[in-house]
Amino acid sequence: MTCIALSSCKNENKNVETNLLLKPFDTPYGVAPFDKIKNSDFLPAFQFGIDQQNAEIEAIINNTETPNFENTIWAFDKSGEDLNRISSAFMALFENHCTQEIQQLAETIFPMLSQHEDNITMNDQLFQKIKSVYDNRENLNLDSDQMMVVNKYYEDFVRNGANLSAEDKEQLKKVNLQLSSLFLKFSSNLLAETNNFKLYIDNPEDLSGLTKEIIDQAALAAENDGNKGKWLFSPTFTSMLPFLQFSDRRDLREKLYRGYFMRGLNNNANDNRETVDSIINLRVRKAHLLGYNSYGQYQIAENMAKDADVAYNFILDIYNQALKVAKDEVVEMQKIIKKEGGKFKLASWDWWYYAEKVRKAKYDLDESELKPYFKLENVRDGMFLLTNKLYGLKFEKLDDIPTYFPDVEVFKVTEANNDLVGLIYLDYYPRPEKGQGAWCESLRNGTDDINGNRVYPIATITCNFPKPTADTPSLLSFDEAETLFHEFGHAIQNLFSYNKYSRISGNFPRDMVELPSQIMENWCSEPEMLRLYARHYQTNEVIPDELINKIVKSSTFNTGFNTTELLAASLLDLKWHAKTTEKTEDVVKFESDCMKEIHLIDEILPRYRSTYFKHIFDSDGYAAGYYVYTWAEVLDKDAFQAFKETGDIFNKEIAAKFRNYVLTNIGQDEPMAQYVKFRGKQPSNEPYLRARGLK
């Protein structure tokens, strides 16, 4: 089988012996040799990996023995190991350092992968082998993990079209191929729109209200962009939000915010309206081919919510409560505008500026007081300390690991007894080649290889935090500190999720996947935890109790806005994917009609408008699934309550149960059943409502 695949590759790449992607990586911990991989290696490597997996599947099909777990399910579960290794290296670059050359490669590679995946899931001979094992599963003496793997693979094939007619399979393949190209187009357009808008300031008077740190960051950004002596602000959260919070120039706040919320709506080559409309219509067609009325019903059928209407009503109920609070917040800010002599009505680009004034007035707290205590390295070490106290984990920085960009740090994670857990890559700072926001990806899952050898996981955490300047280190806002804890929670879930079968290693349903990340945010603001990691970057002084009390008292500050904008985006997502017919839509009108239906006030925009709603339009990942952040927040607040009830937020016994039932073995039973095993009862929404200030 290997010879066949290598032969195919040699025809395309005469330098096959120098292509490091074609064999297991000869590096510490088997990491990708990013310092030696050439972009030209990827296309022949992907063809090699595809050929290799095709040969492995042919071996399963041609096996004349009666299909059983070992010769069919296990063999399929372990097929494609080479392709997985190659894909993870490429996706690390695509997600975190997407140069123009990587984008161009993706335009070829993504359709290749889409066709390959369809050729597998719609291979009737393979499906009949899997179906034979599924139909006979009660007679095969399978353990619980094996039974789960059989069930999952059978369901996967059915959900991906295995039972369709030959004609419908061809239609579905065309739809999937088109979607693959459109996802990439959406993502590329959004990256271009974000990079293309630049607010330059050359008059120091226009910096009124901004702190020295914000000004220094803007000066560094301008210098890096080739305009030393000016100040640059961009429509990324790291650059934009501090400007919206503190700039006294209302006209410039509007200009920058418009640069953000008009991305993909500028009637240029990067306009995303047609792309959004095409994606939605193709998803409707796909849902119909697979026997569902809407794409939302198709997606959510596999989630804990089970039904799209259940998800929508769940979100709408909380949204209505949050909207009432948001309207009260508008009244508070309008009073300040009037008091200061303003003759205008609060607008969306004013919100952060006047909310900051409210915070100062009500809690005697502003962001500039807090940031000196949240040096990036201190926050990082704090989250490491937290998982040491909960799970006994230890972290060692490795300086000999190749990375895809010089700023990236790599840490080895071990158990208390020094057993290896895995590796974490930390990528902190913004650059034009990566998108805004923060995310966690898995470069490798914890499982066994085809020979039964343990494979240790590798996770990446990507953020966009302020870069250090000549005078100050990277100082985080409290929200940014919570973001780092959040993404670290995803990484810990990745590191703890082990099963010998790849299919159920880390088998989280979409609306539970945010539980491991969001529960970590709870510790971030606990006084006992703050005293452990929040230290002044100049004096090393522990954050004083006075500031801790202000953080605690202001925990529900601006919660009406935060909850409303989040849930407005969730409802927009669900509305898009509730469509049951293919129809050309005016994207702006559709979005506007959705917001009118839920009575969203003019002062607030949904957290993501359609043309830059990356979560739902650059892949299928969160399509009809943005609601999961709120669904999982109900779970995370209830789960953290289990720690609080013991009087010890670092309770090792509760942590061990959470690790066992939720993080490591979530795939062993239905997700809610696993959660109840941890908690001892069904989750309550009371802790969530209290934490959000909605009760």
CB 641 within 8 A of CB 683: no
Residue 182 lies in a domain: no
180 occurs within a structural domain:
no
In angstroms, the CA 170 to CA 168 distance is: 5
Check if the beta carbon of residue 323 is closer than 8 Å to that of residue 601: yes
Same domain, 25 and 133: yes
- Dihedral of alpha carbons 504, 510, 515, 516, sign: positive
Please indicate, yes or no, whether residues 321 and 305 belong to a single structural domain of this protein. yes
Residues 256, 240 contacting (CB under 8 angstroms): yes
CATH number of the domain at 12, please. 1.10.1370.40
Q: 414 forms bridges with which residues in the sheet?
A: 394, 420
How many structural domains does the chain have? 4
Classify residue 671 by its DSSP letter: H
Q: Which of 11, 13, 570 is nearest to 313 (CA)?
A: 570
Domain stops at, among 145, 163, 181? 163
pLDDT tens by residue, 441-484: 999 999 999 888 999 999 999 999 999 998 899 999 999 999 99
Given 163, 185, 207, the domain boundary residue is 163
Q: Report the Cα–Cα distance between both ends of the chain, in Å, rounded.
A: 62
Residue 512 confidence (pLDDT) = 86
Cβ-count burial 129-158 (b if 16+ within 10 Å, e if not): bbbebbeebeeeebeebbebbbebbbeebb
User: So what's the pLDDT on residue 15?
Assistant: 54
Q: What share of the chain is helix, strand, coil (3-state, %, to 5)?
A: 60, 5, 35
Pair (117, 22) in one structural domain: yes
From 140, 163, 186, the end of a domain falls on: 163
Which residues contact residue 455 at a Cβ distance below 8 angstroms, ignoring those fewer than 6 apart?
444, 445, 446, 447, 448, 449
Instruction: Assess whether pLDDT exceeds 70 at residue 11.
Output: no
Distance CA 591, CA 294 (A): 18
Judgement on whether residues 466 and 343 belong to the same structural domain of the protein: no
pLDDT at 359 over 70: yes
145's torsion region: left (phi>0), alpha (psi -120 to 50) or beta?
Answer: alpha
- Are residue 23 and residue 149 in the same domain, yes or no? yes
DSSP 109-146: HHHHHHHHHHHHHT-HHHHHHHHHHHHTGGGTT--HHH
Q: Whose CA is closest to 186, among 114, 278, 296, 98?
A: 278
Residues 6+ positions from 131 with CB-CB distance below 8 Å: 154, 157
pLDDT digits (tens, 9 = 90+) for 608-648: 999 999 999 999 889 999 999 999 999 999 999 999 999 99
Give a yes or no: residue 202 inside a domain: yes
Same domain, 442 and 527: yes
* CATH code where residue 351 lies: 1.10.1370.10
What pLDDT, on the 0 to 100 scale, is given for residue 666?
79
Residue 423 confidence (pLDDT) above 80: yes
* 189 belongs to a structural domain: no
Does one domain contain both 533 and 618?
Answer: no
Is 191 a domain residue?
no
The neighbour count for residue 204, using CB atoms within 10 Å, is 9
pLDDT digits (tens, 9 = 90+) for 510-566: 788 899 999 999 999 999 999 999 999 999 999 999 999 999 999 999 999 999 999
**Is 107 strand, coil or helix?**
helix
Classify residue 565: in a domain, yes or no. yes
Least confident window among 29-38, 454-463, 504-513, 678-687: 504-513
In the numeric block, the tokens 């996770």 are attached to: 459
Q: 265: which 2 tokens? A: 């709506």
Q: Give how far Cα 575 sits from Cα of 275, 331, 583, 659, Å.
A: 17, 29, 14, 35
Which ranges in 515-556 belong to alpha helices (H)? Answer: 515-524, 527-533, 545-553
| Phi, psi (rounded to 5 degrees) for 409 | -105, 150
Q: Is residue 656 part of a domain?
A: yes
- Whether 511 and 565 map to the same domain: the answer is no
Kindly state the tokens that stand for 499.
Answer: 């099963």
Quick one: pLDDT band at residue 16, thresholds 50, 70, 90? low
* 482 noted as active-site residue: no
* Mean pLDDT along residues 659-663: 93
**Per-residue pLDDT tens over the stretch 173-223:** 999 999 999 999 999 999 999 999 999 999 999 999 999 999 999 999 999
- Between CA 281 and CA 279 the distance in angstroms is 6
Q: pTM to 2 decimals? A: 0.91
- 495 and 638 share one domain: yes
Domain of 207 in residue numbering reads as 197-261
In this structure, is residue 175 part of a structural domain? no
Residues 6+ apart with CB under 8 A from 360: 366
Rg of the chain, C-alpha, whole Å: 26
Residues 529 and 383 in one domain: yes
Q: Give the model's pLDDT for residue 2.
A: 26
Instruction: Round to whole Å and give the CA distance between 682 and 659.
Output: 18
Residues 571-619 have pLDDT tens digits of 999 999 999 999 999 999 999 999 999 999 999 999 999 999 999 999 9
Considering the chain, what percentage of its residues have pLDDT values greater than 70? Answer: 98
Say which of 81, 487, 514, 521 is annotated catalytic: 487
| One-character DSSP codes across 481-512 | HHHHHHHHHHHHHHHH-B-SSGGGTT---GGG
Instruction: Tell whether 542 and 602 lie within a shared domain.
Output: no
CA distance 397 to 89: 21
Question: What span, in angstroms and rounded, lies between the C-alpha atoms of 688 and 34?
Answer: 42
pLDDT in tens, 288-329: 999 999 999 999 998 888 999 999 999 999 999 999 999 999
Are 662 and 526 members of one domain? Answer: yes
